Amino acid sequence: DMTRRDLQNDMKKQGRPWSIGKGFDHSAPIGPITPAAQAGDVGKAGIWLQVNGVDRQRSNVAQLIWNIAETIEHLSAAWELQPGDLIYTGTPEGVGAVVTGDVLEGGVDGLGSIRLKLV
């Protein structure tokens, strides 16, 4: 997912929720959905992002603060999760600004990848 740091920082200064900096139009492009039964052991899968062909983020899903099962358990106590719901967990270190024209490609090993150009 993408973050508008300018909007996020404005909201922080005002003591307001940061949602506007996270939930803007086209802020969360996704690749193909893979059913869990076909996904394999994504709990130990590599996760990566390249910007213009250069590694920006590269880690492993096992490095998440809470593993996938713990995350689902916690969230399902607050919301009724349904098939097809998406859960965004954050990303590995290496976040940074991108600009119009940048080409982003990322993925989770075993689940495929997504490639897009910022316009």
Q: What are the residue boundaries of the structural domains of the chain, listed by start?
A: 1-30, 35-117
How confident is the model at residue 27, as a pLDDT?
85
What's the token pair of residue 39? Answer: 């996904």
- Say which CATH class 35-117 falls into: alpha beta
Helix (H), strand (E) at residue 47: strand 46-51
For the chain, residues with pLDDT lower than 50 are none
How confident is the model at residue 34, as a pLDDT?
87
How confident is the model at residue 23, as a pLDDT?
82
pTM attached to this predicted model: 0.82
Residue with tokens 């899903």, as numbered in its chain:
61
How confident is the model at residue 13, as a pLDDT?
93
How confident is the model at residue 2, as a pLDDT?
84
How confident is the model at residue 88, as a pLDDT?
85
How confident is the model at residue 58, as a pLDDT?
95
How confident is the model at residue 4, as a pLDDT?
86
What's the token pair of residue 63? Answer: 């490095």
What's the token pair of residue 36? Answer: 């869990």
User: Is residue 18 a contact partner of residue 8, using CB atoms and an 8 Å limit?
Assistant: yes
How confident is the model at residue 90, as a pLDDT?
77
Burial string for 74-88 (b: 16+ CB within 10 Å, else e) reads eeeeeeeeeeeeeee
